[in-house]
Amino acid sequence: MRVFIVDIGIISALGAGTENNLCQLLAMRHGLNGKSSSIDPDTGYYVGKVALTDEELSDMFKVRTKLSRTSLLSLYAVNECLNDFCSDCNLGFISGTTVGGMASSENFFRKYIPCTENPKVEDIIYHTCGSATTSIVPYLPKLNYISTINTACSSAANAIIFGAQKIKSGQLDAVIAGGSDSLCRFTLNGFQSLMILDENHCKPLDLNRSGLNLGEGAGYLLLMSGDFVEKHGISPLCELKSYANTNDAFHATALSDDGNGPYLSMKQTLDKANIASAEIDYINIHGTGTINNDLAESAAILRVFGEKYPSLSSTKAYTGHTLGASGGIEAVFSVLAIEEQKVFPNLNFTAPMPTGIIPVLKPEKQKIKYVLSNSFGFGGNCSSLLFSKI
């Protein structure tokens, strides 16, 4: 059973909607214009914050209750990818997140602990990752399956993998799959404690990289079975050709220096599709800008592709690292690369690492058939998605 992508939806620091994000990517304009002090007065790092407020997002969809910001971002992106939705479809919704409604819970305890005012219970009931998914279900078409995945920064990619498996097994005709996350104090302080936040704009793959910038947003794909697409005469954007999820179990917050997890996820993805490494045209790398990630991912790329590696870049210098949403947002960028036949450039690169990997540095028009998208999470959870032009 083939699985196709028939629509996409996104909101990020680059803007709301696919067109805004595409324009910013092609113009090489990043969205890291905010400072984390607007979220946490004790920190002052660059962040990729979505410009729309919770109130503006709620008004767009006539939300009747106070939802978490993660849910509202999800609702925006999901609605965009349902533009051409076929209503007689056996539909599922699988969403990845790491933060869930944590930002709302922080508001609750900020009022509760000092007892300065009565906190609202609606700020805490949406705390869990699962609630970030289920709370927007009333605003969506009829769903026959709902699930949430939390595997750190590979969450959205794994939601897409799980959605494809549900379609291939014949359980669903279509799945809305991807992820959403919002900025909060807990996340900022967590990454600060790991000493992997860059005080300036991050520099993925650069010799002088020193860490990542955090961001928020949501990205989703509408996956659909080949049989349903053919039956209803739907014109898909591209095909989800293959995927793999692996775990190197090396460290709680780091990859092995030789990139075993990333190597296995990319190699297994290509092997399942029976595609040679030389056929890949572009890799949207995980590319966080940390010392460990970029070294490990580069080592893995050289193991899979050798010195003749394909065009590659990280888009996290545009959006910030959106954690559980990153695999969904970057899956949308991968689909756009196929649609536009363009590779999106890597920002802030000045000098290569010892591995010698050099990314694409300006918008590049080229023939693109296969795009590989990497998403790696804490605990060594590594996922790769392979998209194909039809």
The model's pLDDT over 197-244, given as tens digits with 9 standing for 90+, comes to 999 999 999 999 999 999 999 999 999 999 999 999 999 999 999 999
**CATH among 3.40.50.300, 3.40.47.10, 3.40.50.620, 3.30.40.10 for 241-388:** 3.40.47.10
* Alpha carbon distance 326, 235 (integer Å): 26
* Alpha carbon distance 105, 131 (integer Å): 12
* In CATH, 3-231 is 3.40.50.1980: no
Task: Give me the pLDDT at residue 170, please.
Answer: 97
- Longest Cα–Cα distance of the chain, Å, equals 63
Q: Is 23 a catalytic residue?
A: no
Task: Provide CB contacts within 8 A for 69, sequence distance 6+.
Answer: 54, 57, 103, 104, 182, 216
Would you list the domain boundaries of the chain?
A: 3-231, 241-388
Beta strand segments in 13-57, E: 15-16, 34-35, 46-48
Catalytic-labelled residue, pool 30, 202, 321, 382: 321
Residue in the structure block whose two tokens are 């095909």 = 239
> H or E stretch including 343?
strand 342-343
Strands 370-377 and 282-284: parallel
Catalytic-labelled residue, pool 89, 129, 184, 286: 286
Q: Is 321 a catalytic residue?
A: yes
Q: Is 129 a catalytic residue?
A: no
DSSP 270-336: HHHHT--GGG--EEE------HHHHHHHHHHHHHHHTTS--EEE--HHHH-B-GGGHHHHHHHHHHH
Task: Give me the pLDDT at residue 86, please.
Answer: 66
Sequential pLDDT tens for the chain (390 residues): 899 999 999 999 999 999 999 999 999 999 998 777 677 766 789 999 999 999 999 999 999 888 999 999 999 999 999 986 766 889 999 999 999 998 888 877 777 777 777 777 777 888 899 999 999 999 999 999 999 999 999 999 999 999 999 999 999 999 999 999 999 999 999 999 999 999 999 999 999 999 999 999 999 999 999 999 999 999 999 999 999 999 988 998 899 989 999 999 999 999 999 999 999 999 999 999 999 999 999 999 999 999 999 999 999 999 999 999 999 999 999 999 999 999 999 999 999 999 999 999 998 799 999 999 999 999 999 999 999 999
* Alpha carbon distance 217, 226 (integer Å): 29
Residue 168, exposed/middle/buried by CB under 10 A (0-12, 13-18, 19+)?
middle
The sign of the CA dihedral 64, 66, 71, 77 is positive
Task: Give me the pLDDT at residue 104, please.
Answer: 85
Task: Give me the pLDDT at residue 368, please.
Answer: 98
- pLDDT per residue over 115-143, tens digit each? 777 777 777 888 899 999 999 999 999 99
* Alpha carbon distance 253, 251 (integer Å): 6
Task: Give me the pLDDT at residue 127, please.
Answer: 87
* Alpha carbon distance 43, 88 (integer Å): 49
Catalytic-labelled residue, pool 89, 153, 184, 238: 153
